[in-house]
Amino acid sequence: MSSQPKLHLTVGLPGVGKTTLARELERASGALRLTPDEWMLPLFGVRWADFGGKRDVLEGRLVWVAHQVLRAGGSVILDFGCWSPEERYALRAIADLAGADFELHYVTLPEDERRKRATARWREAPEETFEMTLDDHERFRTSFTPPTTDELQGCSPPPPPIPFESWPAWASDRWPTLPRLDI
Ligand X SMILES: Nc1ncnc2c1ncn2[C@@H]1O[C@H](COP(=O)(O)OP(=O)(O)OP(=O)(O)O)[C@@H](O)[C@H]1O
Q: Which listed residue (46, 117, 144, 145) binds ligand X by CB under 6 A?
A: 117
In sign, the C-alpha dihedral spanning 147, 153, 154, 155 is: negative
Task: Tell me whether residue 18 or residue 174 sits nearer to Mg ion (CB atom).
Answer: 18
If we measure between CA atoms, which residue out of 3, 6, 8 comes closest to residue 106? Answer: 8
Q: Which listed residue (19, 63, 76, 89) binds Mg ion by CB under 5 A?
A: 19
If we measure between CA atoms, which residue out of 99, 90, 97 comes closest to residue 172? Answer: 90
Query: Residue 15 interacts with ligand X (CB under 6 A)?
Result: yes
Query: Quick one: what does residue 16 bind among Mg ion, ligand X, none, with the CB cut-off 5 to 8 Å set by partner type?
Result: ligand X
Contact (CB, 8 A) for 136 and 142:
no
Positions of E strands within the chain: 6-11, 32-34, 76-81, 101-106
**Piece of 7-15, 24-32, 147-155, 159-167 that binds ligand X (CB under 6 A):** 7-15
Query: Residue 129 interacts with Mg ion (CB under 5 A)?
Result: no
Which letter does DSSP use for residue 175 in this model? S
Query: Quick one: what does residue 20 bind among ligand X, Mg ion, none, with the CB cut-off 5 to 8 Å set by partner type?
Result: ligand X
Q: Which of residues 126-145 bind ligand X (CB under 6 A)?
A: 129
Query: Residue 16 interacts with ligand X (CB under 6 A)?
Result: yes
Q: How many CB atoms lie within 10 A of CB 28?
A: 8
Q: What share of the chain is helix, strand, coil (3-state, %, to 5)?
A: 50, 10, 40
Query: Residue 19 interacts with ligand X (CB under 6 A)?
Result: yes
Residues that bind ligand X (CB under 6 A): 12, 14-20, 37, 81, 117, 120-121, 129
Q: Which residues bind Mg ion (CB under 5 A)?
A: 18-19
